[in-house]
Amino acid sequence: MVKTKEFNPFEFMESQAEIDAFLLECYEDEDPNTFVTALGHLAKQHGMTEVAKAAGLSRESLYKAVNGKVQPKWYTIHRLMRVLGVRLTIAA
Protein backbone atom coordinates (compact mmCIF):
# COMPACT_ATOMS: atom_id res chain seq x y z
CA MET A 1 0.00 0.00 0.00
CA VAL A 2 1.27 3.44 -0.93
CA LYS A 3 1.02 6.09 1.75
CA THR A 4 -0.04 9.50 0.56
CA LYS A 5 0.00 12.85 2.25
CA GLU A 6 -2.83 15.38 1.98
CA PHE A 7 -1.96 18.08 -0.55
CA ASN A 8 -1.43 21.48 1.03
CA PRO A 9 -1.02 24.21 -1.60
CA PHE A 10 0.64 26.55 0.89
CA GLU A 11 3.67 24.25 1.06
CA PHE A 12 4.53 25.34 -2.48
CA MET A 13 3.98 29.09 -2.18
CA GLU A 14 7.07 31.20 -1.84
CA SER A 15 5.68 34.67 -1.25
CA GLN A 16 2.92 36.44 0.62
CA ALA A 17 1.64 37.72 -2.73
CA GLU A 18 1.06 34.13 -3.87
CA ILE A 19 -0.74 33.31 -0.64
CA ASP A 20 -2.90 36.44 -0.92
CA ALA A 21 -3.82 35.72 -4.54
CA PHE A 22 -4.73 32.13 -3.73
CA LEU A 23 -6.90 33.13 -0.76
CA LEU A 24 -8.66 35.77 -2.87
CA GLU A 25 -9.45 33.20 -5.57
CA CYS A 26 -10.80 30.83 -2.92
CA TYR A 27 -12.89 33.60 -1.35
CA GLU A 28 -14.39 34.51 -4.72
CA ASP A 29 -15.39 30.92 -5.45
CA GLU A 30 -19.14 30.23 -5.51
CA ASP A 31 -18.75 27.62 -2.77
CA PRO A 32 -17.91 29.26 0.58
CA ASN A 33 -16.33 26.00 1.75
CA THR A 34 -13.52 26.62 -0.72
CA PHE A 35 -12.33 29.59 1.36
CA VAL A 36 -12.87 27.78 4.66
CA THR A 37 -10.88 24.80 3.39
CA ALA A 38 -8.09 27.12 2.24
CA LEU A 39 -7.97 28.66 5.71
CA GLY A 40 -7.69 25.15 7.10
CA HIS A 41 -4.70 24.40 4.87
CA LEU A 42 -3.08 27.67 5.94
CA ALA A 43 -3.71 26.80 9.60
CA LYS A 44 -2.09 23.40 9.06
CA GLN A 45 0.92 25.13 7.51
CA HIS A 46 1.22 27.29 10.65
CA GLY A 47 0.54 24.38 13.02
CA MET A 48 -3.00 23.51 14.05
CA THR A 49 -2.26 23.30 17.76
CA GLU A 50 -0.68 26.76 17.87
CA VAL A 51 -3.36 28.33 15.68
CA ALA A 52 -6.17 26.79 17.72
CA LYS A 53 -4.64 28.02 20.96
CA ALA A 54 -4.14 31.54 19.60
CA ALA A 55 -7.73 31.60 18.32
CA GLY A 56 -9.09 30.40 21.65
CA LEU A 57 -10.35 27.13 20.17
CA SER A 58 -9.64 23.52 20.92
CA ARG A 59 -7.63 21.70 18.29
CA GLU A 60 -10.60 19.41 17.64
CA SER A 61 -12.96 22.37 17.18
CA LEU A 62 -10.59 23.93 14.67
CA TYR A 63 -10.34 20.70 12.68
CA LYS A 64 -14.15 20.42 12.63
CA ALA A 65 -14.54 24.04 11.54
CA VAL A 66 -12.28 23.66 8.49
CA ASN A 67 -13.01 20.10 7.39
CA GLY A 68 -15.53 21.22 4.75
CA LYS A 69 -18.34 19.13 6.24
CA VAL A 70 -19.91 21.82 8.41
CA GLN A 71 -20.60 25.51 8.05
CA PRO A 72 -18.61 27.18 10.82
CA LYS A 73 -19.90 30.31 12.49
CA TRP A 74 -18.57 33.62 11.24
CA TYR A 75 -17.14 34.23 14.72
CA THR A 76 -14.91 31.16 14.35
CA ILE A 77 -13.76 32.11 10.85
CA HIS A 78 -13.11 35.70 11.95
CA ARG A 79 -10.94 34.54 14.87
CA LEU A 80 -9.07 32.13 12.60
CA MET A 81 -8.45 34.86 10.02
CA ARG A 82 -7.10 37.22 12.68
CA VAL A 83 -4.66 34.61 13.96
CA LEU A 84 -3.50 33.80 10.41
CA GLY A 85 -3.14 37.48 9.49
CA VAL A 86 -5.81 37.30 6.79
CA ARG A 87 -7.64 40.58 6.26
CA LEU A 88 -10.64 41.25 4.05
CA THR A 89 -11.17 44.50 2.22
CA ILE A 90 -14.68 45.54 1.29
CA ALA A 91 -15.21 47.53 -1.87
CA ALA A 92 -18.37 48.67 -3.61
Per-residue pLDDT of the chain (92 residues; tens, 9 = 90+): 888 888 899 999 999 999 999 999 999 999 989 999 999 999 999 999 999 999 999 999 999 999 888 899 999 999 999 999 999 888 88
| Under 8 Å between Cβ of 43 and 81 | no
How distant, in Å, are the alpha carbons of 27, 29, 39, 54, 73 from that of 24?
5, 9, 11, 23, 20
Predicted model pTM: 0.87
pLDDT of 29 reads 96
